[in-house]
Structure 1
Amino acid sequence: MVIYSLPDYQDFEHKIDGKKTHLFILKNRTGMQVAFTDYGARIVSILAPDKAGNLRDVVLGFNSIHAYLQADEQYHGATIGRFANRIAHGSFHLDGEKYSLQQNNGRNCLHGGPTGFHTKVWDRRTSFKKKIDFCYVSPDGEEGFPGNLKVTVSYELTEDNEIIIRYKAETDKKTVINLTNHAYFNLNGEGQDDVLSHILHIPSNHFLPIDENQIPLDSEAPVDGTAFDFRTPKKISADINKDEEQLGRGNGYDHTLVNQQPISQVAASAYSPDSGIRLEVFTTEPGIQLYTGNFLSGKDIGKSGRPYSSRSAFCFETQHYPDSPNRPQFPSVLLEPGQVFESETIYKFSIKKEM
Structure 2
Amino acid sequence: MKKAVKKLFGRFNGQDVYSYTFETDSGYRLTSMPYGATILDYITPDKNGKFANINLRFANLEDYLVKGPKFGASVGPVAGRIGEGTFELNGKTYHLPQNNKTNNMHSGLDGIHVALFETAEVDDHSVTFYTERADGFGGFPGPIKIWIRHSLAENGELTLTYEAAADQDTLFNPTNHAYFNLSGDQSRLIDDFQLTINAAGYYPLDENSLPAEEIDSRAGFVQELMKGASVGSIRQSDHPQILLAGGIDHPFALDRDQEVAAEYYDPESGRLLRVRTDRSCLIVYTANNYNDFTKSKGHPAHNGLALEAQAVPDAIHRAEKDQVILKAGQVMKTSTSYHATVKQ
> Which bracket does the TM-score occupy, shorter chain normalised?
over 0.9
**Residues 1:54 and 2:50 aligned together:** yes
- State the match for 1:165 in structure 2: 160
8 Å Cα contact 1:297/1:308 also seen in 2: no
Deviation at 1:310, TM superposition (A): 1.2
Alignment of 1:283-298 (within 5 A): 283-297=277-291
The structure whose residues are more often strand, as a share, is: 2
Q: Provide runs of 4+ in structure 1 moved above 4 Å.
A: none
8 Å Cα contact 1:320/1:331 also seen in 2: no
Deviation at 1:55, TM superposition (A): 0.9
Alignment of 1:87-102 (within 5 A): 87-102=82-97
Alignment of 1:296-335 (within 5 A): 296-297=290-291, 299-300=293-294, 307-329=298-320, 332-335=323-326
SS in 2 for 1:300: helix
8 Å Cα contact 1:26/1:34 also seen in 2: yes
Deviation at 1:220, TM superposition (A): 1.6
- State the match for 1:227 in structure 2: 221
Higher mean C-alpha deviation, range 49-58 or range 228-237: 228-237
- State the match for 1:156 in structure 2: 151
8 Å Cα contact 2:97/2:138 also seen in 1: yes
Deviation at 1:297, TM superposition (A): 4.0
Over 3 Å counting, the alpha-carbon distance change for 1:212 and 1:352 in structure 2 is same
TM-score (normalised: structure 1): 0.91
The residue type paired with residue 75 of structure 1 is K
Please give the per-residue CA displacement for 1:183-235, whole angstroms capped at 9, x wherever unaligned. Answer: 0110011423210111011111211111011111222221x242123121110
Deviation at 1:21, TM superposition (A): 1.4
- Name which of 136, 139, 142 aligns with 1:141: 136
Whole-angstrom distance in 2 between the partners of 1:147 and 1:291: 30
- State the match for 2:178 in structure 1: 183
Deviation at 1:250, TM superposition (A): 1.5
State the superposition RMSD in angstroms: 1.8
8 Å Cα contact 1:59/1:185 also seen in 2: yes
- Name which of 21, 45, 66 aligns with 2:17: 21
The residue type paired with residue 100 of structure 2 is N
Alignment of 1:172-251 (within 5 A): 172-222=167-217, 224-229=218-223, 230-251=225-246
8 Å Cα contact 2:234/2:247 also seen in 1: no
Whole-angstrom distance in 1 between the partners of 2:15 and 2:167: 25
SS in 1 for 2:220: coil
Structure 1 regions of 5+ residues with no counterpart? 1-6
Deviation at 1:38, TM superposition (A): 0.6
Higher mean C-alpha deviation, range 117-126 or range 245-254: 245-254
Over 3 Å counting, the alpha-carbon distance change for 1:248 and 1:301 in structure 2 is closer
The residue type paired with residue 275 of structure 2 is V
The structure whose residues are more often helix, as a share, is: 2
- State the match for 2:65 in structure 1: 69
Higher mean C-alpha deviation, range 316-325 or range 186-195: 186-195
Over 3 Å counting, the alpha-carbon distance change for 1:69 and 1:62 in structure 2 is same
8 Å Cα contact 1:253/1:290 also seen in 2: yes
8 Å Cα contact 1:297/1:310 also seen in 2: no
Whole-angstrom distance in 1 between the partners of 2:80 and 2:284: 12
Please give the per-residue CA displacement for 1:287-314, whole angstroms capped at 9, x wherever unaligned. Answer: 0000000012463268xxx611111111
Alignment of 1:83-122 (within 5 A): 83-122=78-117
**Residues 1:39 and 2:35 aligned together:** yes
Deviation at 1:13, TM superposition (A): 2.6
8 Å Cα contact 1:130/1:156 also seen in 2: yes
Over 3 Å counting, the alpha-carbon distance change for 1:296 and 1:321 in structure 2 is same
SS in 2 for 1:115: coil
Deviation at 1:331, TM superposition (A): 5.5
Deviation at 1:9, TM superposition (A): 3.4
The residue type paired with residue 321 of structure 1 is V
Higher mean C-alpha deviation, range 207-216 or range 283-292: 207-216
Whole-angstrom distance in 2 between the partners of 1:330 and 1:95: 13
SS in 2 for 1:205: strand
Whole-angstrom distance in 1 between the partners of 2:184 and 2:295: 14
- State the match for 2:329 in structure 1: 338
The residue type paired with residue 235 of structure 1 is S
8 Å Cα contact 2:10/2:62 also seen in 1: no
Whole-angstrom distance in 1 between the partners of 2:80 and 2:294: 22
Deviation at 1:330, TM superposition (A): 5.5
- State the match for 1:9 in structure 2: 7
- State the match for 1:351 in structure 2: 342
